[in-house]
Structure 1
Amino acid sequence: MKLASDLPDSHTLRELMQVLHEEIGLPEHKTVSLKTSINIDLACNGSDAQHLMETLEQHFGLELADYDAYRYFQPAGNDPHLKRNAKGRERKVPLTIGMLYEAIRAGYWDTQTLEA
């Protein structure tokens, strides 16, 4: 994986990048930066996204009370109940590596702050 030269050199970011690499794989041919979105640029969705967020929650002790999976990811499978919950949220907001990094540093997910 190629990392952008402007990435902060921190232990937390290195750990985050390792988790992302293990859980969803990071492309060898594309430069990854804080602006890289895991849902749009890296095509992480469904059960992969759910598993990733659970892993981040456990690994970093991240509190996800304000996190709304449907805002960022397509639901897993073809469950009509999940599709109904996601209705009206077809356009997904990019969830960037920078947002994950800031949430981990803060210890909790604050949608309004992270998307600003």
Structure 2
Amino acid sequence: MKLAPTLPDTPALRELMQVLHEEIGLPEHKAVSLQTSINLDLGCNGSDAQHLMETLEQHFGLELADYDAYRYFQPAGNDPHLKRKAKGREGKVPLTIGMLYQAINAGHWDTQTLEA
């Protein structure tokens, strides 16, 4: 994996990058930065995304009370209800490595703060 030189060198970020590498894989030839979106840039969706977030919750003790998977990820499998999209869930919001890193440092997911 190729990391951008601007990434902070902290234990939490090193652990996060290791978890991301193990769970979803990281590109070999493209530099990964805090702005890299795991859903839009790296294609993480469905059950992979669900498993990733569960792993982050357990590994880092991350509180996900304010987290809404549908804001960021397509659901797993064929969902017959996708024809009728819920209000506010039409387009997916980029979920960046920086957002995950901030949430880990804070210990909880705060959608408004992380998306600002």
TM bucket, shorter chain: over 0.9
Inter-partner Cα distance in structure 1 for 2:43 and 2:84: 21
Q: Check if 1:56 corresponds to 2:53.
A: no
TM-score, with length taken from structure 2: 0.94
Gapped regions of structure 1 (runs ≥ 5): none
TM-score, with length taken from structure 1: 0.94
Q: Which residue number corresponds to residue 73 of structure 2? A: 73
Which amino acid letter does the alignment assign opposite residue 35 of structure 2?
K
Which amino acid letter does the alignment assign opposite residue 55 of structure 1?
T
Q: Which residue number corresponds to residue 87 of structure 1? A: 86
RMSD of aligned residue pairs (Cα, Å): 1.4
1:90 Cα deviation (Å)? 2.5
Q: Which residue number corresponds to residue 45 of structure 1? A: 45
Detail structure 1 runs of 4+ shifted over 2 Å in the superposition.
83-88
- Percent of counterpart pairs with the same letter? 83
Paired residues, number: 115
1:49-102 Cα deviation digits (max 9, x unpaired): 000000000000000000000000000011335x37853413100000000000
SS in 2 for 1:8: coil
